[in-house]
């Protein structure tokens, strides 16, 4: 009979010596060929660290697994003899799967491109958004692409062959094949599927890096003669410099030639199966890039691509959707202006603009309405399904809802507009508490519970638990 072990007990049989684990994994980096990986998977320190990683991700799974830690020697023997990862889904398999993920991450992470984000330590959805803000600059066109990389469409033989090029260990490859056969790629193992996804799509990232190097050309755009004429002709002599600049921008006349064939730029970023490309070029060239991308994904990677989810977008007149943020460029007539001194003359110049990262307010309000927090999208309402819960649960539920939304969208340029979302959540919380406790007004709720939802403020980059596909 297996003895239950208190989850707070520190006397584990699996000793998670992080230093030993770290030294073992460091040995795997920057090597072209690796052998005997199974010995690292079956190491006590690696398995102990894997168990602790599971605890950090999902405490429920960890509590179910902690009782197995006294039988680590049996698990090691089963790993070496291939008795793990069967079709019956032994709970211990989660430890083995996490150990496999750790090893693959140690081998491949340093080889991934800087444009690859998601399922990597230090490369989150916020780093992907910051990459866009800092690297894309002023782009004329966006290409957004969402790949349908569900693993039923994945060519596993190709993934395994890629890994076999580096790892020459039949036992380890057999473990990976067992993960696929047993369905562990979609069975509470998103962390493993994430690293597999990145290994496979690294070919796409490298293809795009080469494509960008060939595409980019020119040092700067040519000056637009029409801009100079419109700014300084005699018809505008009675205007102030600021008024002349506003007049030219109202006509959508740029200081440089936007369709300059001698200047082209492209930027690329990927988070999981979402891609965003920013382009300075003609619309014709943008569609050519889109076609080349679709061809590579479908013919080279053999991924089923929904072509309706791969489209060219005008960066100024429309908005690209990436990680449930709306990405766009400020129009000419709305760009900030400043006075700069050029020689002895002061002139009015527009500021350099970066892509705007906006939260999709209308989508968030639609979801709040769908889940019953509002009807009018202006005010909160009582949520009946929460009335039978405790007061503490209700307050915690609403606070977590707001914190997750605020943390996810803290990089949004229009974060202040989320105040309407905060208002709806706060009001819904107070009305639900009032209904549950038979209180007649919000004043009575505040007197009984204080202000139940935290004040509206922009977080300082805390980690969000909300999944980018979960709420929107």
pLDDT of 356 above 80: yes
Q: Is 70 exceeded by the pLDDT of residue 369? A: yes
Residue 47 has pLDDT above 60, yes or no: yes
**CA 76 from centre of chain:** 35
190 confidence band (pLDDT: 50, 70, 90): low
**Which of 286, 284, 248 has its CA nearest to residue 265?**
286
Q: Pick the more confident residue, 347 or 377.
A: 377
> Angle at the Cα of 410 (from 407 to 415), degrees rounded to 5?
125
- Residues 296-302, mean pLDDT to the nearest whole number: 89
Length of the chain: 472
Whether 278 has a pLDDT exceeding 80, the answer reads yes
CA atoms within 13 Å, Cβ hemisphere of 75: 27
Choice among 43-52, 133-142, 248-257, 273-282 with the minimum mean pLDDT: 248-257
Q: How confident is the model at residue 3 (pLDDT cuts 50, 70, 90)?
A: very low
Answer yes or no: is pLDDT of 259 > 50.
yes
Q: Outline where DSSP puts E strands in 68-140.
A: 116-117
Q: Is the pLDDT of residue 358 over 70?
A: yes
How would residue 83 be classed by pLDDT, with cut points 50, 70 and 90? confident
Dump pLDDT digits (tens) for 212-230: 999 999 877 767 776 666 6
Q: What is the pLDDT of residue 12?
A: 35
The pLDDT score that the predictor gives to residue 13 is 35
Mean pLDDT is lowest, of 8-17, 33-42, 244-253, for 8-17
Residue 189: the pLDDT is: 47
Q: Is pLDDT at 142 greater than 90 in this prediction?
A: yes
pLDDT recorded at residue 207: 97
- Name the residue with higher pLDDT: 13 or 151: 151
Name the average pLDDT for the chain: 81
For 415-427, what is each residue's pLDDT tens digit?
999 999 999 999 9
433-448 pLDDT tens trace: 999 999 998 899 999 9
Give the least confident one: 14-28, 46-60, 91-105, 261-275. Answer: 14-28
Does the pLDDT value for residue 254 go beyond 60? yes
Give yes or no for residue 308 having a pLDDT over 80: yes
Burial 236-275, CB ≥16 within 10 A → b, else e? beeeebeebbebbbeeebbbebeebeebbbbbbbbbbbbb
Comparison of pLDDT for 46 and 342, the residue scoring more? 46
**Range of weakest confidence among 140-154, 276-290, 311-325:** 140-154
- Residue 205's closest CA among 197, 193, 217? 197
Phi, psi of 287 (to 5 degrees): -70, -30
Tally the C-alpha atoms within 13 A of residue 123's C-alpha that lie toward its C-beta: 19
Query: Angle formed by the axes of helices 419-437 and 391-408, to 10°?
Result: 170
Residue 75 has pLDDT above 90, yes or no: no
More confident residue, 468 or 94: 94
Read off the pTM. 0.83
pLDDT above 90 coverage of the chain, percent = 39
Of 34, 214, 13, 204, the C-alpha closest to 106 is 34
pLDDT of residue 89: 72
- Going from the C-alpha of 165 to that of each of 34, 172, 252, 293, the distances in angstroms are 9, 13, 53, 25
Residue 182 sits at φ, ψ, to 5 deg, of -80, -5
More confident residue, 229 or 401: 401
Q: Residue 427: which H helix or E strand, with range?
A: helix 419-437
Query: Is the pLDDT reported for residue 198 higher than 50?
Result: yes
Which of 426, 437, 423 is closest to 387 using CA atoms? 437
pLDDT at 466 over 60: no
């Amino acid at each position: 009979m297996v003895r239950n072990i208190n989850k707070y007990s520190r006397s584990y049989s699996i000793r998670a010596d992080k230093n030993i684990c770290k030294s073992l994994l460091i040995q795997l980096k920057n090597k072209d060929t690796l052998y005997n990986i199974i010995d690292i998977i079956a190491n006590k320190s690696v398995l102990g660290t894997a168990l602790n990683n599971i605890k950090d991700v999902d405490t429920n799974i960890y509590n179910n697994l902690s009782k197995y830690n006294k039988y680590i020697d049996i698990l090691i023997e089963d790993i070496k003899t291939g008795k793990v990862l069967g079709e019956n889904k032994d709970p211990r398999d989660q430890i083995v799967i996490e150990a496999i993920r750790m090893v693959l991450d140690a081998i491949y992470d340093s080889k991934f491109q800087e444009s690859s984000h998601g399922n990597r330590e230090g490369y989150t959805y916020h780093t992907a958004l910051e990459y866009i803000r800092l690297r894309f600059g002023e782009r004329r066109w966006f290409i957004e692409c969402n790949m349908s990389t569900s693993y039923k469409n994945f060519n596993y033989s190709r993934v395994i062959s890629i890994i076999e090029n580096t790892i020459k260990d039949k036992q380890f490859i057999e473990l990976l094949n067992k993960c696929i056969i047993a369905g562990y790629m979609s069975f509470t193992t998103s962390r493993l599927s994430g690293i597999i996804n990145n290994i496979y799509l690294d070919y796409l990232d490298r293809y795009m890096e080469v494509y960008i190097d060939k595409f980019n050309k020119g040092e700067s755009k040519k000056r637009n003669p029409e801009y100079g004429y419109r700014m300084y002709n005699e018809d505008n002599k009675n205007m102030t410099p600021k008024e002349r600049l506003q007049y030219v921008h109202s006509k959508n006349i740029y200081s440089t030639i936007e369709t300059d064939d001698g200047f082209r730029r492209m930027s690329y970023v990927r988070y999981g199966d979402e891609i965003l490309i920013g382009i300075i070029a003609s619309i014709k060239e943008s569609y050519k890039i889109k076609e080349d991308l679709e061809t590579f994904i479908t013919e080279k990677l053999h991924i089923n691509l929904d072509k309706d989810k791969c489209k060219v977008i005008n960066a100024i007149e429309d908005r690209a959707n990436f990680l449930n943020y709306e990405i766009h460029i400020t129009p000419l007539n709305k760009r900030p202006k400043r006075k700069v001194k050029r020689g002895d003359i002061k002139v009015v110049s527009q500021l350099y603009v970066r892509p705007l990262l906006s939260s999709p307010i209308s989508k968030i309000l639609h979801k709040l309405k769908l889940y019953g927090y509002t009807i009018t999208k202006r005010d909160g309402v009582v949520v009946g399904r929460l009335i039978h819960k405790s007061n503490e649960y209700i307050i915690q539920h609403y606070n977590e809802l707001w914190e997750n939304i605020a943390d996810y969208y803290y990089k949004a340029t229009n974060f202040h507009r989320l105040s309407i979302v905060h208002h709806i959540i706060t009001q819904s919380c107070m009305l639900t508490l009032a209904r549950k406790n038979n209180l007649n007004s919000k004043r009575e709720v505040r007197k009984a519970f204080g202000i139940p939802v935290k004040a509206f403020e922009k977080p300082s980059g805390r980690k969000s638990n909300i999944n980018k596909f979960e709420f929107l």
